Structure 1
Amino acid sequence: MDIEKSLFDNLQEFFGFDTFKGDQEAIITNVLNKKDTFVIMPTGGGKSICYQLPALMSQGTAIVISPLIALMKNQVDQLRAFGGSDSIAHFLNSSLTKSDIARVKDDVVSGKTKLLYVAPESLGKEDNIQFLRNITVSFVAVDEAHCISEWGHDFRPEYRKIRQVINGIGAGIPIIALTATATPKVQSDIRKNLQMNDATLFKSSFNRTNLYYEVRPKRDVVKEIVRFIRNNAGKTGIVYCLSRKKVEEIAEVLNINGIKALPYHAGLDAKVRAETQDKFLMEDVEVIVATIAFGMGIDKPDVRFVIHHDIPKSMEGYYQETGRAGRDGGEGVCVAFYSEKDIEKLTKFMKDKPVAEREIGTQILKEVIDYSESAVCRRKQILHYFGESFDETGCNNMCDNCRSTRTYLDAEAPILQVLGFIKEQGDKFDDHHVINVLMGQNNQPVSSYKHDTHPLFGAGKEQGVIYWKSVIRQAELADFIKKDIDHYGLLILTESGSKYLLNPYPMKFVLNKPFEAGESSGTAMGLVNPNDSALDTALLQLLKDLRKKIAKQKSLPPFVIFQDPSLDEMCTHYPITIDELKQIHGVGSGKAVKFGAPFAELIRKYVDDNGIDRPQDLVIKSTANRSALKVSIIQNIDRKIGLDDIASSKGISYEDMLREVESIVNSGTKLNISYFVDEMIDQDRQDEVYEYFLSADIDTVKSALDELGEADYTYEEIQLMRIKFMSELGN
């Protein structure tokens, strides 16, 4: 049989795909050739097909070991839909009745079942071992294989018995181990424990280019989360919390604020958890608020955001949880809230654990702290953790650190001090000890090694702790030093570090910012206080209904009247006069006069009916200088001077110029830029874009570009046409 032809035929027949992703074809061929296979592939990379397709093509039944009932159910449902038969895939776990188990075993024995999903606890039961000895097992797939390692973020002791059980079922059964997250240490543990040192390794890049990473200080965290989700209305997302209590609390606050959310944690009834999962998949709810019990193996491609209310316990956990966003390659925003109080809580959780386990937990947690506090590209840090080198220019500003203004330090001298100390003293000290020496902190470990008399003692006090944390973190990212996680995170001088000591050269490092993060002030039930700038969702709905009604009367798209950010701001400031409306961002004098009266009247009535205490001041958004720039731009456009020439004369970029013009138009000032547009875009293309905005539900430049095609239009052309459209119809 031509394996390649058969592979593609089966891929098309069972899954409806024409091509394989990445290493899928090579992995499947390896499994079909009965070879042990080790797959490290990020979430969304298509791991499941790597064992599902060869199972469907092989004689006998593949055993898939999976840690979660929810994951099994999800995959079995999908396979039954693909295969057109309920017998093609089954699971054996504690949720089944005796009659269910008998039916499953009958289907397996009769050869109808190609994949049998088993929890590791069920696999080890003597009656299941006896049963599996008497069937043809094509291979064993160990999904979420990182659960084997105590260095992994989701260690499960039952996973360490898998090899022993497989040996008890039969000799020579091939294994495919799969995980989305594995540091070099975890990889080594998996190979060793499953006795698959000769397995072919397939390792994909961990870089998820479409994900945006951000870490925020944990202040007013609930209000921040509500605001974020309201600003992303209509998008689905997950909010992760460490405790069940916090899950319930946040879910309640979101619902009270008009966001459809459900809680998910291990303390809920299995039936409730299954229903919650189905509602999320079917988009009956927008947001799931969950502990880490939710999400493993959930194949929802269009999760648009993942928020961590609490910083996770490990980088593996963080990577896997954020990896649930944007699996379809589309937008995926990952925001984590960080505070030192969270770290204190996590440290307290570990204090009653055995010493070895506590030490491992401490080292894993230190990586999360370094990641959160560092000003270096987030993506570079994540990939470094998984043993992958990355040039941060490839981040394309897809993290908060790359987008922010950064302060740099001349790193050559401090690197030499740190590397020299490690070389001289040996690989016996962690980063805290080295920093304590440099800062002149005479604690017991420092004095016991007589480092209080070392020439470097106190030499770095003037620069401060943040400075030295920045240096050591980036020396590690530059591969000059590495942390020995097996031995309490001791710093080891690498070959590259030794070379740098011999032949130093100038380097620039980014200085970490002070991370002043206070704990959330708690969550008040009910609508978040409007004076604190969170949205009054009841008013927002009334304003949207009014906007829709006026838009219909005037035969205009709703966004031409007022855009969503303007309505949002009305819901925090409650303007009740035309003059107050003029101060709302994106309204301005023209729009306030043309459309404002019914909105001001509606808000005034709403405020009176609900006894709302309005903020006394409406913040004026523009400074005097920016106002002067706007006046000058309006005057130059009236004189029909090209926008590129105006930009040049004002010393700003063409992109910034378009943003200024857009801001003027959004505020209600009518500008005639036809003279410039006519030079840039021919009439037929103008008509096409105009037609799009007339009928569009979404008015963004990106949505227009997606619809009309990047091959035919540039971003600036669409932006220009949108400005012309808004000016002519809205002002």
Structure 2
Amino acid sequence: MPFSNATRVLRQYFGYDSLYPYQEEIIRALAEGEDVIGVIATGGGKSLCYQIPALLSEGTAIVISPLIALMKDQVDTLRECGVSAACITSLQDYRERRETEAAIVHGEVRVLYVSPERAVKKEFFSLLKKAHITLIAVDEAHCISQWGHEFRPEYRELSRLIREFSHAPVVALTATATPAVQKDIIAQLHLRRPRRVTGSFYRKNLRYEVRSKKDTKGAILSYLRAHQGQAGIIYCLSRKGVEDLTATLRRSGIRALPYHAGLTRQEREAAQEAFVRDRVQVIIATVAFGMGIDKPDVRFVIHHDLPRSPEHYYQETGRAGRDGDPADCILFYSAGDLHRQAFFIRQESSAARQRSAYAKLEEMAAYCEEQRCRQAMILQYFGEEPPAGGCGSCDICCSPRERFDGTDVTRMAVTCVQALEVPCGSNHLIDLLRGANTKKIRELGQKNTPGYGVGKAYSKDEWRSFIRELIRMGYLGRESGAYPVLTVGEAGEELLAAGADTEEVYLTRTKAVKDDHREEPADPGFLRLKALRREIADREGIAPYMIFSDAAIREMVARRPTTDAEFLSIKGVGAAKLERFGPAFMATLRHEDSKADNSARETLRLYCSGCTITEIARERSLTPDICAAHLTEAIEGGEQVEIDDLVPPHRQASIREAAAREGTRDIRRLKAVLGDRFSYTDIRLTCAADRQRDGK
């Protein structure tokens, strides 16, 4: 298994020029016969970590995968890249299975996918002994650990397969594994002094946001209307929640389908296929959905309800933006979600698992309530150092925050907690501070409690934020468990003891996030190539992304390849895809160019005669964005176009600073960083002028 050929294989089959450092480390270790445990973020290229070694070897790699739908998608994708891949599943008929088995025995299958249940059967062992097995890959390896978030007992038997074929190196891969889970994976699979490789959990293209649960259905509907044509997943806690939201969206004209365990297998498979093939915009699902999805162009993941752990949340949001383009991750939250999740935790039979689950739920509450960078909190949970200064794109980093003197607020909360004879949780404390007339307050006779009603000026959401911040700062404490009660912390005792001489306590409060984000207007050429991709996909019976990703199509539109060599240089285009799809896509581009040249020249002529973009758009019945795109093409074609009238110099300077800081001139990435103060037109024209200036 010579590692020196890895880059050549990567380019030939998958159309990329380089590996990530963690991919290279895993592949090199496997090439040298070592076992590996790899923790790599969803969308970080886990599959290549076993697909490349499989192609470097002269035999067959066995991949243990948890879902049939995922296996089928992986096999179809590999075949489109020219790789001999197969799977053995319960859905195959006798003839198809025998043909696959014969191909395995004759060494014609390089990558073979099977479920964990099949992988440990004696008859499967007998089949594999007739083949040349060179690698065993366990995908979604967290399923083997009782401390993982998707524990599957059948995974525990995989050590039998590994012992049977002990000559083959083993790679266990997962997107979410705490140190305890990693240790359990190693023990359960009997990995031999494995190399531990952890990629970054930082998904820079994901925009994390938490919203309060107020008219949640209306907020979701508003978001979807503003992002028409984009694919996304919405998670709900219950089947009823899934069905209700699906009905609401469909009545409003949104192409949506439900997915939950109460549907038949055929209904679930039909919904998943419709989503993967872009026939519906949205899937509304319980956590039963997503593990088998390899769709790269999911532009948003919305959680209608609170997930029970950071692992669940990270893996589910990780299904967004796997192509590297910006994507939104929005979580709707209320304190009631904590009680619902706590109810499910209490059903756990193991006290140890209950304690672990409560701790994870507390981490989710902190994620929602604390006023800290969302990405930083996720990274710290998984033991990774967050970026200095925050991510710059989550709601906390982008929303205006106000630091204010919160001494009185702190004193209100601490005094009230100290005065209580019966300890209480956050919600009850908020009711006391806001002077609520609840049944519990009346039964306990707490209307005369010091602090009752003194916090009416602040909303429940504001008090939740303040209490969370006071706990983090040590003014309050909170016990763990099913019913976490509040206590006075050390800093709180010092504050009360100091009386009027206390130092000021500063807290923060944030304004609500406005959903005024809009995506980049779609380029007509991009839309036509997507239509061509959809036409080919329907004819071939495969998902559109298996032909080319959106990112690859966007690069084609930008670079306009006209030769095989130029087309092959597009990221994601390998030799097999060039041969099968290259001629049709290049012919479409040539046709577009012949029409666009005349149109762009007319726009340039009118602009040079003194017309503004708005005037040109009105004159030619075009949008201002298309006219700006014409001028961008003119600049990139060498025409001298003065853009100071289009983009004021101070705005150009801000765009250039962002490009230098981020190390990119990618329009969508810069838009995500700069926000809504800058239009795509501003960024596109400035970057075009800079490329012309730099001769690039």
Query: Does structure 1 conserve the Cα–Cα contact (< 8 Å) formed by 2:415 and 2:450?
Result: no
Rounded Cα–Cα distance in structure 2 between residues aligned with 1:302 and 1:99? 35
Query: Which protein has greater RCO, CA pairs closer than 8 Å, 6+ apart?
Result: 2
Corresponding residue of 2:54 = 55
Deviation at 1:475? 7.6
Corresponding residue of 1:469 = 468
Query: Does structure 2 conserve the Cα–Cα contact (< 8 Å) formed by 1:303 and 1:326?
Result: yes
Corresponding residue of 1:155 = 151
Rounded Cα–Cα distance in structure 1 between residues aligned with 2:480 and 2:221? 41
Rounded Cα–Cα distance in structure 2 between residues aligned with 1:705 and 1:319? 41
Corresponding residue of 2:354 = 358
Corresponding residue of 2:40 = 41
Corresponding residue of 1:405 = 401
Candidates 134, 137, 143, aligned match of 1:138: 134
Corresponding residue of 1:346 = 341
Deviation at 1:251? 1.6
Residues 61 and 475 of structure 1: is their aligned pair in 2 closer, same or farther, counting only changes over 3 Å?
farther
Q: TM-score, structure 2 length as denominator?
A: 0.63
Alignment length (residue pairs): 503
Letter in 1 for 2:215: D
Corresponding residue of 2:496 = none
Rounded Cα–Cα distance in structure 2 between residues aligned with 1:120 and 1:110? 23
Query: Does structure 2 conserve the Cα–Cα contact (< 8 Å) formed by 1:315 and 1:382?
Result: yes
1:47 is paired with a residue whose SS is: coil
Query: Does structure 2 conserve the Cα–Cα contact (< 8 Å) formed by 1:236 and 1:302?
Result: yes
Residues 164 and 406 of structure 1: is their aligned pair in 2 closer, same or farther, counting only changes over 3 Å?
farther
Query: Does structure 2 conserve the Cα–Cα contact (< 8 Å) formed by 1:12 and 1:18?
Result: yes
Letter in 2 for 1:55: A
1:219 is paired with a residue whose SS is: coil
Residues 313 and 436 of structure 1: is their aligned pair in 2 closer, same or farther, counting only changes over 3 Å?
farther
Letter in 1 for 2:320: A
Deviation at 1:190? 2.0
1:305 is paired with a residue whose SS is: strand
Task: State whether structure 2 residue 119 is matched by structure 1 residue 123.
Answer: yes
Question: Which string of whole-angstrom CA distances, capped at 9 and with x for unpartnered residues, describes residues 281-316 of structure 1?
Answer: 222211111122222252322211111111111111
Task: State whether structure 2 residue 194 is matched by structure 1 residue 195.
Answer: no
Corresponding residue of 1:235 = 230
Task: State whether structure 2 residue 179 is matched by structure 1 residue 180.
Answer: no
Rounded Cα–Cα distance in structure 2 between residues aligned with 1:720 and 1:60? 52
Question: Which string of whole-angstrom CA distances, capped at 9 and with x for unpartnered residues, describes residues 436-465 of structure 1?
Answer: 99645555899xxxxxxxxxxx99999988
Rounded Cα–Cα distance in structure 2 between residues aligned with 1:161 and 1:68? 17
Letter in 2 for 1:103: E
Task: State whether structure 2 residue 336 is matched by structure 1 residue 337.
Answer: no
Deviation at 1:274? 2.9
Candidates 278, 298, 303, aligned match of 1:303: 298
Corresponding residue of 1:654 = none
Rounded Cα–Cα distance in structure 1 between residues aligned with 2:203 and 2:215? 29
Deviation at 1:353? 2.0
Corresponding residue of 2:312 = 317
Query: Does structure 2 conserve the Cα–Cα contact (< 8 Å) formed by 1:40 and 1:182?
Result: yes
1:292 is paired with a residue whose SS is: coil
Corresponding residue of 2:241 = 246
Rounded Cα–Cα distance in structure 1 between residues aligned with 2:48 and 2:25? 12
Deviation at 1:408? 5.4
Query: Does structure 2 conserve the Cα–Cα contact (< 8 Å) formed by 1:439 and 1:460?
Result: no
Rounded Cα–Cα distance in structure 2 between residues aligned with 1:229 and 1:59? 48
Rounded Cα–Cα distance in structure 2 between residues aligned with 1:382 and 1:222? 26
Corresponding residue of 1:79 = 78
Candidates 286, 289, 292, aligned match of 1:294: 289
Deviation at 1:146? 1.5
Query: Does structure 2 conserve the Cα–Cα contact (< 8 Å) formed by 1:474 and 1:509?
Result: no
Corresponding residue of 2:436 = none
1:250 is paired with a residue whose SS is: helix
Corresponding residue of 2:24 = 25
The 5 A counterparts of 1:706-721 are 716=648
RMSD: 4.3
Task: State whether structure 2 residue 267 is matched by structure 1 residue 268.
Answer: no
Deviation at 1:149? 2.2
Query: Does structure 2 conserve the Cα–Cα contact (< 8 Å) formed by 1:89 and 1:115?
Result: yes
Residues 244 and 705 of structure 1: is their aligned pair in 2 closer, same or farther, counting only changes over 3 Å?
farther
Rounded Cα–Cα distance in structure 1 between residues aligned with 2:349 and 2:151? 15
Rounded Cα–Cα distance in structure 2 between residues aligned with 1:701 and 1:226? 31
Deviation at 1:18? 2.2
Question: Which string of whole-angstrom CA distances, capped at 9 and with x for unpartnered residues, describes residues 229-278 of structure 1?
Answer: 01111222111112222222212221110111111223333333333223
Query: Does structure 1 conserve the Cα–Cα contact (< 8 Å) formed by 2:159 and 2:188?
Result: yes
Q: Is the deviation greater in 339-348 or in 207-216? A: 339-348
State the identity as a percent.
39
Query: Does structure 1 conserve the Cα–Cα contact (< 8 Å) formed by 2:401 and 2:508?
Result: no
Corresponding residue of 1:553 = none
Corresponding residue of 1:579 = none
Letter in 1 for 2:360: I
Residues 225 and 136 of structure 1: is their aligned pair in 2 closer, same or farther, counting only changes over 3 Å?
same
Q: Is the deviation greater in 349-358 or in 37-46? A: 349-358
Residues 686 and 79 of structure 1: is their aligned pair in 2 closer, same or farther, counting only changes over 3 Å?
farther
Q: Is the deviation greater in 390-399 or in 702-711? A: 702-711
Rounded Cα–Cα distance in structure 2 between residues aligned with 1:384 and 1:685? 55
Rounded Cα–Cα distance in structure 1 between residues aligned with 2:38 and 2:632? 35
Question: Which string of whole-angstrom CA distances, capped at 9 and with x for unpartnered residues, describes residues 164-212 of structure 1?
Answer: 3321x23243111111112222222222322336222221211111211
Deviation at 1:129? 2.9
Rounded Cα–Cα distance in structure 2 between residues aligned with 1:685 and 1:14? 50
Deviation at 1:216? 1.0
Letter in 2 for 1:274: E
Rounded Cα–Cα distance in structure 1 between residues aligned with 2:204 and 2:396? 14
Query: Does structure 2 conserve the Cα–Cα contact (< 8 Å) formed by 1:435 and 1:469?
Result: no
Q: Is the deviation greater in 92-101 or in 281-290? A: 92-101
Query: Does structure 2 conserve the Cα–Cα contact (< 8 Å) formed by 1:261 and 1:289?
Result: yes
Letter in 1 for 2:57: S
Q: TM-score, structure 1 length as denominator?
A: 0.60
2:389 is paired with a residue whose SS is: helix
Residues 435 and 78 of structure 1: is their aligned pair in 2 closer, same or farther, counting only changes over 3 Å?
farther
Task: State whether structure 2 residue 282 is matched by structure 1 residue 283.
Answer: no
Candidates 378, 384, 405, aligned match of 1:388: 384
Corresponding residue of 2:581 = none
Residues 42 and 696 of structure 1: is their aligned pair in 2 closer, same or farther, counting only changes over 3 Å?
farther
Letter in 1 for 2:59: G
Rounded Cα–Cα distance in structure 2 between residues aligned with 1:20 and 1:190? 25
Query: Runs of 5+ in structure 2 lacking a partner?
Result: 426-448, 456-462, 490-502, 516-606, 653-677, 683-696
Rounded Cα–Cα distance in structure 2 between residues aligned with 1:319 and 1:207? 11
Residues 683 and 69 of structure 1: is their aligned pair in 2 closer, same or farther, counting only changes over 3 Å?
same
2:394 is paired with a residue whose SS is: coil
Letter in 2 for 1:335: I
Rounded Cα–Cα distance in structure 1 between residues aligned with 2:511 and 2:419? 20
Corresponding residue of 1:619 = none
The 5 A counterparts of 1:676-687 are 683=608
Query: Runs of 5+ in structure 1 lacking a partner?
Result: 415-433, 447-457, 494-505, 516-532, 534-681, 724-731
1:39 is paired with a residue whose SS is: strand
Residues 318 and 90 of structure 1: is their aligned pair in 2 closer, same or farther, counting only changes over 3 Å?
same
Residues 218 and 33 of structure 1: is their aligned pair in 2 closer, same or farther, counting only changes over 3 Å?
same
Residues 687 and 340 of structure 1: is their aligned pair in 2 closer, same or farther, counting only changes over 3 Å?
closer
Rounded Cα–Cα distance in structure 2 between residues aligned with 1:209 and 1:215? 17
Deviation at 1:22? 3.9
Corresponding residue of 1:210 = 205
Letter in 2 for 1:37: V
Rounded Cα–Cα distance in structure 2 between residues aligned with 1:221 and 1:701? 38
Deviation at 1:355? 3.2
Rounded Cα–Cα distance in structure 2 between residues aligned with 1:231 and 1:258? 13
Rounded Cα–Cα distance in structure 1 between residues aligned with 2:123 and 2:191? 26
Q: Is the deviation greater in 710-719 or in 295-304? A: 710-719
